[in-house]
A and B are shown apart, each in its own frame.
Chain A
Amino acid sequence: MRHFHEELDQLKAKLVRMSGLAEEMVRIAVEALLERDQAKAAEVIQRDHAVDELEVQVDTAAIELLALQQPLAKDLRFITSATKIANDLERVGDHAVNIAEALEYLLKVPPFPPLPELEEMARISTGMLADALSAFIRGDANLARRVVQVDDRVDDLHENNFRILLTHMMEDPRKITAGMDMLLVSGNLERIADMATNVAEEVVFFVEGRTIKHHAERRDTAH
């Protein structure tokens, strides 16, 4: 039983912790937004620090493992994927923070009429993130592929939000500030979905050694 495997497990544990934190941040940010809860928003902003630190730790551990243990095959793919996933998770954290910060401005103006599309988007994005991270922890390439397929839906929802918000803002100029903030929130949720997609693509790479990035698989099977 080599100590290398122990260190690999430790790296994975860091990623698991990081993914748990990122998921939570997104969930609480969305709750804060929908419930207009300032306290929750503040919590999200606080947690970002831990996620940033974990990213640095993952990078350091990964480079050390590469230099000192010369891993091969799946171990090697796992380590290179780990750095990318950590990077993506850190950005997820940042996007969650952005959403929480948007709340600050939104609280200053009367609440916007409910936007079911936005709520659906939030639901789907958080679901994608959760699934992508599950796929990573379990090494489930099929689940990861399903995550990738959902991304188009999120992109469509973002476009819809854009049109809806534009309509609202054109109707009533007083709603422009809030509308812009809501648009930004939509954008951040769309980016979170993209990050989840990235993570899912990395999972397929490290499990199967296959790159599905940039629609590579779709291109291959296109007729």
Chain B
Amino acid sequence: MNRPQQGGLAGGTGLFNTRQQTRKRMGSAFAVLCFLATAVGIVFLAVLLIDIVRDGAGRLSSAFLSGMPSRFPARAGIKPALVGSLWTLGITALVSFPLGVGTAIWLEEYAPNNRFTRLIQTNIANLAGVPSIVYGILGLAVFVRLFAFGECVLAGALTLALLILPVIIISSQEAIRAVPNSIRLGAYALGATRWETIRDQVLPLALPGVLTGTILALSRAVGEAAPLIMIGALAFVPFVPKTPLDEFTVIPIQIFDWINRPQAGFHEVAAAASIVLLIALLTLNGTAILLRNRFSRKR
């Protein structure tokens, strides 16, 4: 085959019209567009953060954190909401983690690959996308009324647990699936049972991914208001819940309540509460990221 002399590196001889300039320009344009998309997101986020901090930073104090809500903005505190959020978070975690991880293990390691299993899998994926208020209706009907728990922390936490369960299941499944099969085969070939293989090889390797997924799911639960309103979490709660069966409120609902008050001062109070919420979320997410990094570096 005769190859024509390709003089110089400017490009394009014979049957090739390489259009170097045009192609490079298009590449640059694309990069710029992507950057702009990023910039828009960052700018809006920055605006939001600055706005909230400007409004609410002044109201942050230990009095704010340990005080009860009141009709007067100057005296309003966030303690019941904070305690309620903590209670809810705790019970939600306790319930959703074992259920979610257990389901993931069953689906990935034990369940046979048949139509039934695939049906379950599809439904879990669908449930992850159901609006949270629907879970609120479910919680109202089942936990508040049917189980007769009443409008309490337990009912709220169980509702949230159901809400985040599909997310935990899916991310745990992915973490388990990411464990290379060669590890399992190696364990089996040494005479390990399936249970021993899962316990000693699969789970330790999947744990970082599972924990990350769980923490991210929990951080979503912390910020939920709608389903809890449905099951009856109150807006004005001048007491701190002492048992899981007490009535309660959570920070997002408290913020919602304060935003709706006509007095001007409540605006700052709501902003301050928002900051508290943001700090909580950042802490949770940060923990998740730290965990993930630590475990992936270890390997």
Is there direct touching of A and B in the complex, by C-beta distance under 8 Å?
A: no
* Contact surface of A with B, Cβ cutoff 8 Å: none
* Contact surface of B with A, Cβ cutoff 8 Å: none
